[in-house]
Amino acid sequence: MKVVIISNNPMVRESYRGRIDVCFVDGSYRDVLIRTRDACHQGHRLLSHPLSGSVKPNETLYKSIMISKEAARADRESVELMEKAIFTADKFGPVRRNWQERERKDFQLVDLTLIDSAVESAENDLGYF
């Protein structure tokens, strides 16, 4: 596989087990953004938008972002996009609610659907598989 998914979503980890490398982050939405930004500094390119979907950063606990598996030179555009995403998430502030398990599962499914779409696009349009 030529991609890696950085995610804190257990549903994504299970769905892609054995098919795509998932770097699982045992942390927050913001922690996923930080880990992805750090990977971009190391030369990985963003392959999905860090703020995809219509759910605001302070309205969900889960985030999955696809990056290139191979690292090259730091991609300035990817780094800048990640810095802006972190700034945006910080502007919204932390999640202000303790979600029930049913709601957590719903947010996991929304995030899984978004990354599924990005993976499909990478397969069909970008030739990453």
pLDDT in 10s for each residue of the chain, 129 residues: 589 999 999 999 999 999 999 999 999 999 999 999 999 999 999 999 999 888 888 889 999 999 999 998 888 999 999 999 999 999 998 887 788 999 999 999 999 999 999 999 888 876 655
CB atoms within 10 A of CB 66: 24
pLDDT for the residue numbered 127: 62
Predicted local distance difference test score (pLDDT) of residue 1? 56
Question: What is the domain extent for residue 19?
Answer: 3-126
Residues 6 or more apart in contact with residue 33 via CB below 8 angstroms: 50, 63, 65, 82, 85, 86, 89
Closest CA to 44 of 67, 77, 21: 67
Residue 66 in contact with residue 5, Cβ under 8 Å? yes
Q: How many domains does the chain have?
A: 1
Identify the pLDDT of residue 126.
61
Would the pTM count as exceeding 0.75? yes
Instruction: Give the per-residue pLDDT at 129.
Output: 55
Beta-carbon contacts of 99 under 8 Å, excluding residues fewer than 6 positions away, are 61, 107
Q: Answer whether 66's CB lies under 8 Å from 1's CB.
A: no
Structure tokens at 99: 């979600």
